[in-house]
């Protein structure tokens, strides 16, 4: 969902009125166990109109690991709306979060970490066919690696949208297990396209912005525990353009994280180098990023922005990724691990 509300002092087109010494290029995207057989029965079409790019021939269930969190709820609703897709009636959750949650008329039993193996048994009994179940993970950075090991040990295909954790270990255990997976820091197709374009630009024109200084500011809801994975990925490409390899040092310590609500409401001020002001209604769910490349004399500045209010664009992209992955599993594709650029290039979005 692209930001639909006006953002004070910011425009969708370049605005340099408050930057008298600089020319700028701004790109903004404002934009308790139940028998498995019972689960198989209630995992059918839930109420509500089906929509979007599903397939009537598809029979995919999504296990939404991360409920009852806000992102988990958004993705679960998107899955319920999608033609040919249903929401599995069981999922993983955090310690102390077990029980049941209802999403758009579908009841989901939540299993705590100590109950993982029971959840795995249910999943394999209820959905034995290859590609009939895909897990989507929006949990917590501390759960990333343990969950990946669990998916691999049980050969459960998964979409990993949770950022943080040991990413090298995440990819390593996934490849070693031979599990199908989509692993990406961002699920919004427009931002994925921008990310891919900048990666290509950095490959083709590395060092072309040498002498420029890179600065990155990202703002998310106060509950986000880690630095944005998208900001890290985009910064990697931009640092190649400016020839600043140290920018990625110490786990991207130079990226400025904004989590204070007063700062989020105020925005970056007249310099436009900080994040755009966040509408108050979206303080609890937004992703505002500003990347600036500024010449040594301060006379030239290039900016890239992507500002997202709400979570729906990520939710729809996550379901797109799950549908894509289910098809790859069903086709017994040789490639097992993908990112969202792969999904985009292969027509999965």
CB neighbours of 315 closer than 8 A, spacing ≥ 6? 71, 74, 75, 77, 78, 187
Helices 312-330 and 189-204 sit at what angle, rounded to 10 degrees? 80
Active site residue 224: yes
Active site residue 12: no
Considering 220, 232, 240, 286, which one is annotated as catalytic? 220
Residue 112: Cβ within 10 Å count: 15
126 close to 36: Cβ distance less than 8 angstroms: yes
Considering 189, 224, 240, 286, which one is annotated as catalytic? 224
Tell me the residue length of the chain. Answer: 349
Q: List the catalytic residues.
A: 220, 224
């Amino acid at each position: 969902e692209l930001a639909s509300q006006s953002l004070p002092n910011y425009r969708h087109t370049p605005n340099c009125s408050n930057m008298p010494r600089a020319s700028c290029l701004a790109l903004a995207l404002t934009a308790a166990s139940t028998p498995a057989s019972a689960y198989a029965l209630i995992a059918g079409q839930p109420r509500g109109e089906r929509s979007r790019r599903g397939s009537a021939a598809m029979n995919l269930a999504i296990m939404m690991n991360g409920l009852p969190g806000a992102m988990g709820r958004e993705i679960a609703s998107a899955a319920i709306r999608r033609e040919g897709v249903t929401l599995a009636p069981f999922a993983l959750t955090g310690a102390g979060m077990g029980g049941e949650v209802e999403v758009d008329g579908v009841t989901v039993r939540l299993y705590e970490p100590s109950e993982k193996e029971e959840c795995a048994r249910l999943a394999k009994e209820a959905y034995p066919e290859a590609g009939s179940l895909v897990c989507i993970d929006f949990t917590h950075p501390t759960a990333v690696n343990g969950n990946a090991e669990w998916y691999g040990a049980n050969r459960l295909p998964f979409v990993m949208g949770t950022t943080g954790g040991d990413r090298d270990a995440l990819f390593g255990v996934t490849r070693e297990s031979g599990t199908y997976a989509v692993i990406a820091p961002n699920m919004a197709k427009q931002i994925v396209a921008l990310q891919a374009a900048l990666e290509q630009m950095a490959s083709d024109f590395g060092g072309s912005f040498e002498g420029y200084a890179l600065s990155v500011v990202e703002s998310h809801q106060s509950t986000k525990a880690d630095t944005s994975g998208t900001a890290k990925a985009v910064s990697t490409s931009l640092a190649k353009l400016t020839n600043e390899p140290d920018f990625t040092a110490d786990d991207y310590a130079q990226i400025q994280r904004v989590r204070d609500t007063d700062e989020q409401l105020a925005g970056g001020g007249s310099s436009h180098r900080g994040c755009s002001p966040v509408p108050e209604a979206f303080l609890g769910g937004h992703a505002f990023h500003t990347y600036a490349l500024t010449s040594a004399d301060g006379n030239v500045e290039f900016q890239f922005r992507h500002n997202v209010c709400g979570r729906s664009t990520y939710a729809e992209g996550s379901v797109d990724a799950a549908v894509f992955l289910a098809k790859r599993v069903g086709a017994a594709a040789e490639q097992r691990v993908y990112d969202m650029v792969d999904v985009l290039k292969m027509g999965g979005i």
